[in-house]
Amino acid sequence: MNGNTNMRQNIVLIGFMGCGKTTVGRELHLRLGYPFVDMDQVIEQRQGRSVSEIFALDGEAAFREMESALLRELLVSPLPRQIISTGGGIVTRPENIQVLRCLGYVVWLQASSSVILDRTSKTRTRPLLQTENPSERVAALLTEREPLYRAASHLNVETYGLDCKELATGILESARYFFSF
C-alpha cells in the first residue's frame, strides 16, 4: 500500500532526455488502456508550435511555467488513472517534486550518458543540447538532476539492455504492488 489516500493513481515517467519515457509510456498505455499524456506534446499542441520554438521565442523560463502549470492541471484531472510522460526538466522546479509524488507512482527511467548522447544526437528537437559540446552539457545536467529524479521517484529503473516491453512488464509488476491493484 502506498499509504497516501490523496494520491492519484497515475503512472508517471520521469528521467533525462532520451531515456525512453515516451516509448515506455506508449507501451504502458497499450497494456493498461489508460490514456497516455505526453506533456511536451500537449504543450506543443496547445501552443501550436514546437518546444524548440517556445525556447527560442519565449525562453526556457516560459516553457518551465507552461510545464509546471500542466503538471498542476493533471493533479485535478477528472481522469485519475493516466500514463504521464514528463519532459526531462520537470524536476528542476522544486515545487514540482511534491506535485509529481501526489500524481501517482513515479518511475525514474535511467540511461547512461553515452546512450543518451547517442539517442538525442539523432534529432535536433532538444534545445538544451544544441550546443558546441553536447557531451559536456549532458554530463552537467545529469549531475545537477540526478538527486532531483531520485527525490521525486518511487522506483528507479536502469534501462540498459531492456526493450520497452520488458521495461513495461517490470514497471507494471511494481505498480501493482504499490497500488495493490
Minimum CB–partner distance for residue 41 and ligand S3P (Å): 9
Q: CB within 8 A of 167, min separation 6: which ones?
A: 20, 24, 27, 109, 157, 159
Binding residues with ligand S3P: total (CB under 6 A): 10
Residue choice 30, 75, 102, 128 for contact with ligand S3P (CB under 6 A): 128
Out of 10, 12, 25, 88, which residue is the one contacting ligand S3P (CB under 6 A)?
Answer: 88
**Which residue, 87 or 104, has its beta carbon nearer to ligand S3P?**
87
Beta carbon nearer to ligand S3P, 53 or 166:
53
Q: Does 89 bind ligand S3P (CB under 6 A)?
A: yes
Which residues would be at the binding site for ligand S3P (CB under 6 A)? 17, 21, 40, 51, 87-89, 126-128
